[in-house]
Structure 1
């Protein structure tokens, strides 16, 4: 199976397991800059040179060798599951993508037909009931993740533990898992432990949010979107994410982790 979703600097200083909706654009750009002294011109997900990616055939043996030797500081990044699933909804379901079209073409029309979801349009200023339609989306996300119907789960709302666990199950080991909510502190520690060709001044790094500005803004606080049924569904889907990555299930409005992550526990649980 190898190491899907893994990016590595060409200098083999940093290895990163991508978790969608967890600062992946910013992390990829920081990695690119740490080798080349410049940011990639465009969406780092589209790059085909300057950064090793498992999706590139020429990168696979290089990544496999570096992981086996634990040659680089190896890390990933997580985010509060409540905020992450909301971000997925507003970006991938309610928003318009960079190409000017809806995500995955006919996905939104399918959701309208099967789940009664209405997410408005640019023509009406994305006017729709955000809370009601997010909760319908949550039913759809649950169906894809637990039962793989009406489609396979999408990477943007698949569990973080699922993404992170593939790297462990195939022989990798993380040195650190950082929180999106305390990104600068966590990334600074990762860079401090790595020998990068170019120093990175984190204070000068812009936030590369490729999805921003293409859809509706969230109109309510996080907790308003989650009633008792929604929280039951969230626990069904993301129980491991809450437990392993120390997020507060009881208070959706508390975005901060409750404690540090126990890396040994993560490797033991997800390496099975």
Structure 2
């Protein structure tokens, strides 16, 4: 089967012995991900052996692959689109953050069990906290309704924002997400989004469309002091970010969030933090690559 060939190939990469911990990024379009590069940098800096591969996996392969991984010699997986919600349903247990978000981006394999975690929530907040961007009591908008949007909504809920408006092209996908996050969350379609966007202090693009389309209505003016965050990190300056700046907001791309969630993954797998100087070096290296 295609999944079996890919797993075997990923497990043989690196020229290290059979006892070296194995990990992978599992998703649909992962070939150009920075995750292998980030974890290689962590492993080198912290002197831990690790084999890490990016493995493209279709939705129809994921269940069988997870079952085989439970029986294999895997340390863990990072999970990306479109598998985060499926991973939450199939995990043998969830940490409180993953359970609240309904999405898993980290799996740890141990004693035949696949335990699900979410480091996207803390990873999303870390660059905002480093910039001292206050969220409490402020309205926020989330574009998208998938696994990444779930983590963002949970991060915003924990930050006590004034309200979360979830905007999605298909309203039927946004409504269950709004219901999940309670009275402070509301769903709307893209045709009725302008007023929520204009009133928001934070706008988060949790879709993959920001690189190719501005996503914001023409002529929209955003609040002074507002921020627009794009979870995507390629290109470094997406059309969504450029449109947000043109409309009066500050903009932040997803690279720093990617590094922060990877640091959370490392702590879960190895029980140790990644030092800040290592994280700063990784961010600088990726920033140079993206420039």
- Check whether TM > 0.5: no
Provide TM-score, normalisation by structure 2: 0.27
Query: Which structure's residues are more often strand, by fraction?
Result: 2
Query: Taking structure 1 as the reference length, what is the TM-score of the superposition?
Result: 0.28
Higher relative contact order (CA 8 A, sep 6+): 1
